[in-house]
Amino acid sequence: MTILDGKKISNDIKDEITAEVAKIKKRGEKVPHLAAIIVGNDGASLTYVNSKVKSCKRVGFESSLYRLPNTVSELELLDKIEELNQNDDIDGFIVQLPLPPQIDTQKVLNAVDPDKDVDGFHPTNFGKMALDMTTFIPATPFGILELLERYDIPTKGKHTVVIGRSYIVGRPMSILMGRSGFPGNSTVTLTHEFTKNITQVTSQADIIIIAVGIPDFLKAEMIKDDAVIIDVGITRVPDDSKEKGYVIKGDVDFENVSKRAGYITPVPGGVGPMTVSMLLKNTLLARERHKKRALENKIK
């Protein structure tokens, strides 16, 4: 059994991005700038956004954080998004989810300029991804592809089962794993809460990608020997025996599944660190795209 070490691969990617930023600086060009909008004081969201800011500093990006109160109106948030859309200094930005109930999340995500949508959630970018066109791939699926590629895990002709159909992970993964190329070319089954006899499906899978938010959902008896297990879940489970009062668990019963799996991601330290690195990679791609467009406009 091989652990897919997202922490290590994430650090490798950050080192590569740092080297690219050094070249950009040497040429006297503007370094990439990533911004984030966060609404309210959700603990997990704050931790995640702070790790993005820290990562930007590490690779030499500029970063901006815009904090809005939980009571902010939808119109005020849309105005802030438009402000960032028009700001040429910002290459990419994200709106941290979840948003408070008075705000229509889809309306907000649709308001982000697709050219700055480094989260890859805008319908334009999602559509391009589905058509195998060059675009921003959502950061978590992008990170999973990178893990599979860097560990050289065969995907061609393999049966990939995706558990969970969210537009953030499940649905994009089902499209990406079936695309032409590597990682891809696998036969994909997308499962969800209404899938009957799910063990019958998962026990035939060569690769399982799970993102359902239910701790220990995937059990050892649900997989076949040497399967590749990608666990996207991360849940705080109360545990009074721990100093923090909780433990972090994934969607996979790691202790038992790891005894049968060929490859497996740990939680934490698997997919999570990859998400932040791929967000940085998307921002670097955005910077290159904006530079190319500026040159083309100059020539015109």
Q: Is 51 annotated as a binding residue?
A: no
Do 250 and 233 form a contact (C-beta atoms < 8 A)?
yes
Q: Is 258 annotated as a binding residue?
A: no
Nearest to 211 by CA among 152, 135, 110, 143: 143
Do 216 and 252 form a contact (C-beta atoms < 8 A)?
yes
Strand, coil or helix: 288: helix
Cα torsion angle, 156, 161, 163, 165, sign: positive
**Helix (H) or strand (E) segment spanning residue 188:** strand 187-191
Per-residue pLDDT of the chain (300 residues; tens, 9 = 90+): 999 999 999 999 999 999 999 999 999 999 999 999 999 987 778 888 888 999 999 999 999 999 999 999 999 999 999 999 999 999 999 999 989 999 999 999 999 999 999 999 999 999 999 999 999 999 999 999 999 999 999 999 999 999 999 999 999 999 999 999 999 999 999 999 899 999 999 999 999 999 999 999 999 999 999 999 999 999 988 999 888 899 999 999 999 999 999 999 999 999 999 999 999 999 999 999 999 888 888 776
Total residues belonging to the chain: 300
Q: Is 241 annotated as a binding residue?
A: no
Contacts of 70 (CB under 8 A, 6+ apart): 39, 40, 41, 100
Residue 208: predicted pLDDT: 98
Contacts of 293 (CB under 8 A, 6+ apart): none
Q: What is the pTM of this model?
A: 0.94
Catalytic residue numbers read: 52, 96, 119
116 burial level (CB within 10 Å; 0-12, 13-18, 19+): buried
In this structure, what token pair is assigned to residue 296?
């083309």
Do 206 and 160 form a contact (C-beta atoms < 8 A)?
yes
**Alpha-carbon gap, residue 84 to 101, rounded angstroms:** 23
**Which domains does the chain possess?**
27-113 (3.40.50.10860), 139-272 (3.40.50.720)
244-250 long-range Cβ contacts below 8 angstroms, 24+ apart: 249/215, 249/216, 250/215, 250/216
Do 135 and 120 form a contact (C-beta atoms < 8 A)?
yes
Contacts of 23 (CB under 8 A, 6+ apart): none
Do 64 and 33 form a contact (C-beta atoms < 8 A)?
yes
Q: Is 236 annotated as a binding residue?
A: no
In this structure, what token pair is assigned to residue 17?
């991005």
Do 109 and 122 form a contact (C-beta atoms < 8 A)?
yes
Nearest to 59 by CA among 93, 97, 15: 15
**Alpha-carbon gap, residue 113 to 222, rounded angstroms:** 42
Maximum C-alpha span of the chain: 66
Residue 75 sits at φ, ψ, to 5 deg, of -65, -40
**Alpha-carbon gap, residue 282 to 91, rounded angstroms:** 10
Residue 300: predicted pLDDT: 63
